[in-house]
Chain A
Amino acid sequence: MNLMKTPLFGSLLALLMMGFAPDAGAQQFMTREGHVHFFSSTPIEDIEADNRQMSGLLDASTGDFVFQVQMRAFHFEKALMEEHFNESYVESETHPKATFQGSIASWENIPNDGMRHDVVAEGEFDIHGVTQPQRIEGTMQWMDGAWNLQANFEVTLADHNIVIPAVVKDNISPVIAIDVEAQLMPR
Chain B
Amino acid sequence: MTRLTWWLFGLVWIGSSALHAQGLLDELNAVTEEPTLPVRATFKDTRIVNVQSNETPAEGVLHFVIAHRFGTLSSGAYDLWGLDNAQMRMAFDYGLTDGLAVGVARNTYQKTYEANVKARLLRQKTGPEAFPLSVTWYSVAMANGTRVAPEETPYPFTRRLSYVHQAVVARKMSERWSLALVPSFVHRNFVQESGEAHDLALLGVGGRCKLGPRFSVNGEYHHFLTESFGDAFSPSLSLGVDIETGGHVFQLHITNARGMFERSFLAEPAGSWANGDLYFGFNLSRVFTVKS
Asked whether, in the complex, the Cβ of B246 is within 8 Å of the Cβ of A168, the reply is yes
- Which of A73, A80, A168 is packed against the most chain B CB atoms within 10 Å? A80
Interface segment, one of A55-63, A111-119, A133-141, A148-156? A55-63
- Which of A73, A80, A86 is within 8 Å of B61, CB to CB? A80
A-B contact pairs, 21 of them (CB 8 A): A7-B1, A10-B5, A11-B12, A14-B13, A15-B16, A32-B32, A53-B35, A57-B27, A62-B20, A65-B24, A66-B24, A66-B25, A70-B34, A70-B37, A72-B40, A73-B37, A80-B58, A80-B289, A87-B213, A101-B21, A101-B25
Quick one: given A14-B9, A167-B246, are A73 and B35 in contact (CB under 8 Å)? yes
Which residues from chain B contact A88 at a C-beta distance below 8 Å? 213-214, 244
Asked whether, in the complex, the Cβ of A94 is within 8 Å of the Cβ of B175, the reply is yes
Give the size of the chain B interface in residues (CB under 8 angstroms): 39
A18 CB-CB contact with B under 8 Å: yes
Q: Shortest Cβ distance from A56 into chain B, in angstroms?
A: 7
Residues from 9 to 64 in B contacting A, C-beta threshold 8 Å: 9, 12-13, 16, 20-21, 24-25, 27-29, 31-32, 34-35, 37, 40-41, 57-59, 61
A62 to B23, CA, bound (A): 13
Asked whether, in the complex, the Cβ of A101 is within 8 Å of the Cβ of B37, the reply is no
Task: Identify the 8 closest CB pairs spanning chains A and B, nearest first.
Answer: A79-B58, A11-B8, A93-B175, A88-B213, A7-B5, A55-B32, A57-B28, A14-B9
- Which of A22, A66, A101, A187 is packed against the most chain B CB atoms within 10 Å? A66
Q: Shortest Cβ distance from A170 into chain B, in angstroms?
A: 11
A43 CB-CB contact with B under 8 Å: no
Q: Shortest Cβ distance from A155 into chain B, in angstroms?
A: 19
Chain A residue with Cβ nearest B245: A167
The 8 A CB mask of A45-81 against B (1 = contact, 0 = none) is 0000000010111010010111010101100011110
B153 CB-CB contact with A under 8 Å: no
B247 CB-CB contact with A under 8 Å: yes
The 8 A CB mask of A13-26 against B (1 = contact, 0 = none) is 01100110010000
A30 CB-CB contact with B under 8 Å: yes
Q: Shortest Cβ distance from A16 into chain B, in angstroms?
A: 9
Count class of interface residues, chain A: 35 or more
- Which of A10, A18, A62 is within 8 Å of B1, CB to CB? A10
Chain B residue with Cβ nearest A86: B40
A94 to B58, CA, bound (A): 24
Quick one: given A14-B9, A18-B16, are A68 and B246 in contact (CB under 8 Å)? no
B287 CB-CB contact with A under 8 Å: yes
Interface residues of A (CB under 8 A from B): 7, 10-11, 14-15, 18-19, 22, 28, 30, 32, 53, 55-57, 59, 62, 64-66, 68, 70, 72-73, 77-80, 82-84, 86-88, 91, 93-94, 99, 101, 165, 167-168, 171, 187
Which residues from chain B contact A84 at a C-beta distance below 8 Å? 246
B275 CB-CB contact with A under 8 Å: no
Which residues from chain A contact B61 at a C-beta distance below 8 Å? 78-80
- Which of B5, B34, B245, B289 is within 8 Å of A165, CB to CB? B245
B192 CB-CB contact with A under 8 Å: no
Chain A residue with Cβ nearest B214: A88
Given contacts A19-B12, A53-B35, A165-B246, 10 further A-B contacts (CB under 8 A): A14-B9, A15-B12, A56-B28, A68-B25, A68-B32, A70-B37, A72-B40, A79-B289, A167-B245, A187-B31
Which residues from chain B contact A22 at a C-beta distance below 8 Å? 16, 20
